[in-house]
Amino acid sequence: MELRVLGSVGVSIAGNRVDLGSGKEIALVAALGIARGRFVSAGQLADQVWDGETPGKTTFQGTVSRVRKKLAEHDGERRIIEQGGAYRLEIRPEDIDWHRFQSAVTDSEALVRNGSEDAALTTLGDALALWQGDPLTGTGGVWADSWREMMRTARASAMARWAEVSTRIRPTEDVSGTIGEFVAIFPFDERLNRCLMQALHAADRTTEALAAYRRYARNLARRFGTDPGPRVVQEYERMREGARAEPGSPAPRPVDAPLQRDNLAHDIADFTDRTQELAHFAAASHCRFGVHVLNGRRGVGKSTLAVHAAHQIRSQFPDARFYLDLRGDQEDAHLEPLEALQELLAMNGVTGSAVPSGLDQRAALWRDQVCDKRMLLVLDHAKSPEQVRPLLPGAPKSMVLVTADRSLNGLHGIQNIRLLPPEVVEAEKLLSAVSGRDRSEGPDEIRTLVELCDRLPFALRLLGTWLRKHPTWTLAMVRDRLMEAGDLIRGLPEVGAKLEAVLTLATKGVTPEARALLLYVGTHPDGRFSLGAAAALVGLETDECEPLLEELLDCHLIEETRPYRYRIDGLVATFAGLTAAREIPGPDVRAAHVRLVEYYLCACRAADRLFEPGGIRMPIRTLNDFRPLRFADTAAVAAWFIAERPTLLSVANWAFDHRHLAVYGARLTHAMAAMIGTYGPLEAALRLHAESVRVWRDRIDHAALAHALIDQARGYNRVSQGDAALACVREAARLWEGMSDSQGEAIATEQIGLAFGMSERLREARPYLQRAVLLHRNGLSPPALANCLHNLAICDQKLGDLNGAAEKFTEAQELYQAYGDLGGTASVYTSRAGAFHESGRYREAIVLLEKALALSREIQDRSLEATIQGNFGEICDSRHAFRQALRYYARALRLWREDGNRREELWSLIGVGKSYRALGVPRKAVDYFEAARRLVARFAGSESEAIVLTYLGEAYADLGEDDRSVALIGDAHEIAVVEELPIPEIKALLALGRYHWGRGRGDTAYPLLKEAETLGATVQAPTEMADVKWLLDAIELSRVADEPLTGTESSTGSSRPPGRSRVPRPRPGADTPSTRRPQIGTSDQAG
């Protein structure tokens, strides 16, 4: 996919232009594309696309949906991703012409610095060739206008750079024509007009050069009422002295006129990124002016950006460009307003006795001095609003850039701009430029180093300087050193000391209580934490802790990621943790950690009660009392758990690593077992369950050990390790039997049945599930009974007892709905949809699946959503809508892979492979079947293996690889016969029969198909038997007609591909009763 914004906004996919439609849809793609793969919040996106108006939710989502659909029309890829209320366009930066233009300009500057000016000129030419007109054509509004102005400025700068380099290195060539075209686009650009004059003069066309000057001076006077700048005037004077001036030419501005005052700090050569902020400043310099405050954490590059921006827009302020360091970043050394005004007045030529002594008088004189000037003022390192307020000019044409660690909200009418660290790619460029190391030397190593610096420009420059100072150290050696130490501060003491000094000064700006909170937060095992967790660490109530967090937020020592949730970045966390180790006594820290883990334990228990009402859990005891979290419904629980999941996993693992907290880690794992089983990640869950089992074994706590074993068994079931699950459950059953625990016996009995079911041993599973239902009825636990009934109904359905399954589905659904279990209700809808699908009642199946899909998304159950997507694929497959089936299977495959469920990934691979085969793309089908074959040995049984081999053999037959095809299908048939698997045997016989019939060997195919017909009388396989009957009828018809009727040439002479006759393609859902979804175990939360 390619995105064009340097002209009319357009998108191409695989060379095909995409019709984006209306202006709103074009603006949406442009806004997401310019973000270069970053997430953009829905509010920000709406503000950009609708130009400050607030669209309705339906309007906004409808626009996103239309764009997503148009982008998916060509290849089915989902290119607009939504996450947490934000949107991202799946596109590589190098596929956006604006990014390629910026990269080329940056590369050209590096070439110029290295002396390769010819190559730089070529690179600049390639960059300028990307432009196809005015940028962002087709979009409007403030956002688009700001970006358009910034892009125009960048284009003008690149043109001027091309002109300067070409006139310098090619003085004998006449490049005035090209530069003249540039001037026609940007007639008021001083650098371009000067270069045009130089090019014409170098080509012995001095008269035209002088005329170009007069034309430029005339245009400036008419448009802005100003004269050309002194450099252009000097160039004109030099040329006029060397040639006779034309009669009547206007006199230029005198050379000895007062020069512009300019004390801007030096602009660094390796400046990178910050395109959005530069666009803002470029637009403001043309129309809005005002006061702009850059705020952010120390070291993020505020001063560097302010100076760079000032140099970028300096031509818009011909009267004065002033820079003043207010020294607010230095402890007790900041400039008082009175001193600052004295320095500003001195810059403007007012010194000595002419400077008033009072603050108000100085401020008034300063405003009077600059009232008529177009002035740019940079106030660096401001400390407070009180320090800045007297320094602000009253002139409407002046622009002020202020940098500060805080947001300076006390100043009215300002624009606050919070500066964040640059993106990874830009940070890598900066580190590479400072260190002198090429990124190709070690792309993985340099990315790791960038992340260890938190992408902070100050830290990157310190590390880059260290690398330049130690050229014998490779990037890999430095990375390994830092990784072994754990962070940058401890890994490189020389760099760490400077970082600690900066962070120490940053903490001077908060109260002692807020500083203490920061130090405790630095001991948190994860950088993400909530208001409640912070309060638990310091032993305060949340309403006492919140003002302290506000202080830290104001100084950018922490970040607010969402309401009541925060993050502390790595360098600040390391600094705070090291300082805490020096200043806070060890017992106080350990007590804080106990409070922290108990807070998370109580929070998980509150969520678990609503997520799985009636679930049987081990009791917990805590030393501290916490106000319980309140959740409105299951969807609120899901949202909370998904947001907290990374932190909960980190805390649990961290607790297991500390002996005095290991029991808390085991209890926390048990409290979130049901939620992590539903929302994943499953591999992490298995590691935690194994640690829990170890802890309870060591403590010889049999009751807790039994619960931990059941949690571990459920985890094994979810990754299709039935034998391991069975061993855990049987041990738990023995423990509960020894304690005479009837509830435990019911849980263990059900889990044994589930373990057999996951191993495809359905007849062995059924009696255990039936007994578990009886035990749960006696135990009077409706939630546990509902789950068990649901699993038993799935088993009955797979074994062909459809009436019994329907009764149990109905009872389970009534129980789920009675106590508000949305996930259970959705699972029953899914299971009942499978029954309708089997009987050909597709519309009813689709209605149920749509209900289930809505519920699964409401509770954010990705595994259930994946199951439903797969079922939609099966229905589309049954209706021969193979392209739609492919999309559904591909979505399910992506979700299962993200969830880590390899067994379900296997069946999604089969679905994708069958869809490609049905669409006539056998090579892709083979690839997916081969991937399924690699998984089947580890995550499924013999029945699945036989089915996969059959499908793979048929795909190879489509490719004409007959020997391999027959061998694979023969292996599948042998497995089915040895293991006594009737449906896989029918499938293999049908595939062999179809293979021989398709090659004109009806007599060979006939006995194979008759054998399949005999087997089909003992089992339910309607789809396969329909295919068998059709082939048998076709062979008998050909015998009656006494002519060959094959799959390659029918009686009418029409040709078909081998093995691809009019026989309906079997759907994935009808492969075998043991492969229909949902699998047993999808409803095992309560036990």
Cβ atoms 696, 665 nearer than 8 A: no
Q: Residue 574 — pLDDT band, cuts 50, 70, 90?
A: very high
Domain(s) labelled CATH 1.10.10.10 in the chain stretch across: 1-140, 509-584
- Pick the closest to residue 691 from 654, 731, 656 (CA basis): 656
Find out if CATH 3.40.50.620 is the number for domain 1-140: no
In sequence order, what are the residues at sequence separation of 6 or more whose Cβ sits closer than 8 angstroms to the Cβ of residue 863? 678, 679, 680, 895, 896, 899, 901, 904, 1082
- Separation of alpha carbons 497 and 492, rounded Å: 9
Q: What is the mean pLDDT of residues 504-519?
A: 88
Whether 1071 has a pLDDT exceeding 60, the answer reads no
User: What average pLDDT does range 193-210 have in this prediction?
Assistant: 86
Q: What is the pLDDT of residue 1065?
A: 27
CATH architecture type of domain 261-418: 3-Layer(aba) Sandwich (3.40)
- What is the distance between the alpha carbons of residues 960 and 508, in angstroms, rounded to a whole number? 76
- What stretch(es) of the chain map to CATH 1.25.40.10? 171-256, 889-1075
CATH class held by domain 171-256: mainly alpha
Calculate Rg over the CA atoms of the chain: 36
- Taking CA atoms, 199 is separated from 165, 177, 217, in Å, by 11, 9, 18
Confidence band of 646 (pLDDT split at 50, 70, 90): very high
Name residue 435's amino acid: S
pLDDT at 85 over 90: no
Write the DSSP assignment of 677-702 as a string of letters.
Answer: HHHS-HHHHHHHHHHHHHHHHHHT-H
Give me the pLDDT at residue 287, please.
67
pLDDT tens digits for range 699-751: 888 889 999 998 998 888 777 677 788 889 889 888 887 887 777 777 888 88
Would you state the torsion angle of the CA atoms of residues 997, 1002, 1007, 1012, taken in this order, to the nearest 10 degrees?
A: 30
C-alpha to C-alpha distances, 1082 to 358, 373, 502, 607, 826, nearest whole angstrom? 78, 73, 53, 20, 11
- Statement: residue 1064 has pLDDT above 60: no
Q: Which phi and psi angles does 327 have, rounded to 5°?
A: 60, 30
Winning range, highest mean pLDDT, from 272-276, 367-371, 505-509, 868-872: 868-872
CA 299 to chain centre: 25
For 311-355, write each residue's pLDDT tens digit.
888 888 888 889 998 988 776 677 889 889 988 888 888 877 788
Phi, psi angle pair for 854, to nearest 5°: -60, -45
Q: Where in the chain is the domain with CATH 3.40.50.300?
A: 261-418
In this structure, of 111-125, 666-680, 877-891, the range with the lowest mean pLDDT score is: 111-125
Residue 1052 has a pLDDT of 28
CATH architecture of 509-584: Orthogonal Bundle (1.10)
Look at residue 474 and give its three-state secondary structure.
coil
Query: Angle at the Cα of 616 (from 615 to 617), degrees rounded to 5?
Result: 110
> To the nearest whole percent, how much of the chain has pLDDT over 70?
91
Look at residue 622 and give its three-state secondary structure. Answer: coil
User: CA-CA-CA-CA torsion for 237, 239, 242, 245, nearest 10 degrees?
Assistant: -80
Query: What global pTM score does this model have?
Result: 0.61
Lowest mean pLDDT segment, chosen from 200-209, 291-300, 576-585, 1070-1079? 1070-1079
pLDDT of residue 864: 85
Q: How confident is the model at residue 480 (pLDDT cuts 50, 70, 90)?
A: very high
Which of the pair, 453 or 1049, is modelled with greater confidence? Answer: 453
The length of the chain, given as a count of residues: 1087
Q: Which residues make beta-bridge pairs with 321?
A: 262, 376
When pLDDT is averaged across residues 476-501 and rounded to a whole number, the result is 90
Cα separation of 941 and 903, whole Å?
10
Q: Which two tokens stand for residue 473?
A: 């150290």
Q: Of the ranges 60-64, 125-129, 173-177, which is most confident?
A: 125-129
pLDDT surpassing 90 at residue 481: yes
Scanning 442-487, the segments in alpha helix (DSSP H) are 443-452, 457-469, 475-485
> Span 592-608, mean pLDDT?
92
Q: What is the fold of 889-1075?
A: 1.25.40
Q: pLDDT tens digits, residue range 403-444?
A: 998 888 778 778 888 888 988 888 998 999 888 888 888 889
Q: Please state, as a whole number, how many other Cβ atoms lie within 10 Å of the Cβ of residue 59.
A: 13
Model pLDDT for residues 967-1026, shown as the tens digit of each residue: 999 999 998 888 888 888 998 999 998 888 888 888 888 899 889 888 888 776 777 888
Cα dihedral 175→180→181→182 (10° resolution): 90
Q: What is the mean pLDDT of the chain?
A: 83
